[in-house]
């Protein structure tokens, strides 16, 4: 068989031809696609959902994509995400994927070239990317580049049939109602609360980051608005449950979930955080117990709740484990200096 030559080209969803769009969709969600390989239990996303996800990236995220082509077939792609935020201006998120049938031919390495160039041009010095335990090739590749493990984490999943409803009721009943109020924000946050929510969200900076060389994340009202707009366009519903300290009026903690109509049997659990000074009063359990009780009423199709946790996050894992969450798959977040990747690429030219 004659080996087909590979060309790497920048991919822009706005200018790509319909044939190119279909080929890149097949690369991602086709029967042997990159995401299909990562999430074999889930149905593939539809073409329209995938296209919409590319068109609705919030403006504070600059997403660039390069595709490896063999004739009309897309066989690999790399992505670079740069956040225009006040924090972490040394950092860029990178991802490289090559179809299983085309690995170990140097395509992944070639897809790294524009990533390193793009990050350097944007003044970013550290690349961060994740690998899935289901695909050991990713770890081997990362180690080859000289990347370091920044954080070992896991997707944990709760099958709702395993939920201990009596325990959830007990958590709700034990909630400290005398001092705190519990309430919901469905969809967009109330405008008058957005500044306070930016402060509240900073609590997530107290979650373990292990060895990741990242700074605290700062949320601004503008980012919140852009994120909400993106969720709306993607038809993802957000439910936020929060507790307020009655005496001071301060927001003390929150938990949020995301329901993606494109994946109706899975609910994504997002942030859960309680301000350090309000910890130890059962607020975390009250929040999670109340949230999970609402799920079957609102979304009868949901069978699983998924969440991502650092393996070192003992307090969150304790709550999740008691609810019935079990390990689903492992993720490692890696970090490597752009200069190191460039040096690796020079050595292998």
Ligand X SMILES: CC(C)(COP(=O)(O)OP(=O)(O)OC[C@H]1O[C@@H](n2cnc3c(N)ncnc32)[C@H](O)[C@@H]1OP(=O)(O)O)[C@@H](O)C(=O)NCCC(=O)NCCS
Q: What is the binding site for ligand X (CB under 6 A)?
A: 94-98, 103-109, 129, 131, 135, 137-138, 140-141, 144, 348
Q: How far is the CB of 4 from ligand X (least distance, A)?
A: 14
Q: How far is the CB of 306 from ligand X (least distance, A)?
A: 19
Q: How far is the CB of 95 from ligand X (least distance, A)?
A: 5
Q: How far is the CB of 104 from ligand X (least distance, A)?
A: 5
Whole-angstrom CA distances from 168 to 94, 157, 286, 287, 322 are 39, 17, 8, 10, 9
For ligand X, the closer of residues 16 and 336 by Cβ is: 336
For ligand X, the closer of residues 93 and 290 by Cβ is: 93
Residue 78 near residue 112, CB atoms below 8 Å? yes
- Minimal CB distance residue for ligand X: 138
User: Cβ-count burial of 320 within 10 angstroms (0-12 exposed, 13-18 middle, 19+ buried)?
Assistant: buried
d(CA 32, CA 137): 16
d(CA 17, CA 255): 41
Residue labelled with tokens 């507790």: 243
Q: How far is the CB of 175 from ligand X (least distance, A)?
A: 41
Sequence-separated contacts (24+) of 24-33 with Cβ below 8 Å: 24/67, 24/74, 24/77, 25/50, 25/51, 26/74, 27/67, 27/74, 27/75, 27/76, 27/77, 27/97, 27/99, 28/77, 32/99, 32/100, 32/101, 33/99
Q: How far is the CB of 107 from ligand X (least distance, A)?
A: 4
d(CA 342, CA 349): 10
Q: Which residues share a beta bridge with 79?
A: 65, 95
For ligand X, the closer of residues 320 and 332 by Cβ is: 332
For ligand X, the closer of residues 132 and 222 by Cβ is: 132
Q: How far is the CB of 127 from ligand X (least distance, A)?
A: 9
For ligand X, the closer of residues 36 and 228 by Cβ is: 36
For ligand X, the closer of residues 102 and 246 by Cβ is: 102
Q: What is the DSSP letter of 326?
A: E
For ligand X, the closer of residues 20 and 95 by Cβ is: 95
């Amino acid at each position: 068989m004659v080996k087909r030559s590979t060309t790497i080209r920048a991919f822009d969803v706005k200018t790509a031809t319909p044939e190119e769009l279909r080929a890149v969709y097949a690369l991602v969600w086709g029967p042997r696609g990159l995401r299909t390989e990562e999430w074999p239990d889930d149905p593939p996303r539809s073409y329209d959902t995938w296209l919409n996800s590319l068109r609705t990236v919030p403006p504070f995220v600059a997403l660039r994509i390069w595709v490896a082509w063999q004739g009309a077939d897309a066989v690999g792609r790399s992505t670079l995400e740069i956040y225009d935020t006040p924090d972490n201006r040394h950092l860029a998120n990178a991802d490289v994927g090559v179809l299983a049938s085309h690995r170990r031919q140097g395509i992944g390495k070639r897809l790294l070239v524009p990533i390193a160039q793009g990050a350097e041009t944007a003044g970013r010095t550290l690349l961060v990317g994740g690998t899935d335990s289901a695909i050991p090739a990713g770890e081997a590749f990362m180690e080859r580049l000289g990347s370091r493990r920044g954080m070992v984490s896991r997707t944990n999943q709760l099958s709702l049939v395993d939920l201990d409803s009596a325990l959830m009721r007990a958590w709700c009943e034990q909630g400290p109602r005398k001092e705190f109020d519990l309430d919901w924000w469905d969809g967009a946050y109330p405008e008058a609360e957005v500044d306070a929510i930016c402060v509240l969200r900073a609590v997530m900076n107290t979650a373990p980051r292990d060895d990741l060389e990242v700074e605290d994340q700062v949320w601004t009202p503008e980012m919140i608005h852009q994120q909400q707009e993106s969720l709306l366009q993607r038809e993802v519903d957000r439910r936020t449950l929060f507790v307020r300290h009655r005496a001071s009026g301060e927001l003390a903690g929150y938990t949020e979930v995301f329901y993606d109509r494109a994946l109706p049997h899975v609910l994504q659990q997002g942030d859960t955080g309680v301000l350090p000074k309000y910890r130890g009063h059962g607020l975390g359990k009250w929040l999670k117990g109340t949230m999970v009780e609402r799920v079957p009423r609102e979304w009868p199709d949901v069978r699983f709740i998924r969440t991502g946790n650092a393996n070192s996050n003992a307090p969150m894992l304790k709550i999740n484990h008691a609810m019935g969450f079990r390990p689903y798959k492992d993720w490692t977040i890696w970090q490597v200096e752009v200069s190191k990747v460039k040096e690796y690429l020079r050595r292998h030219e």
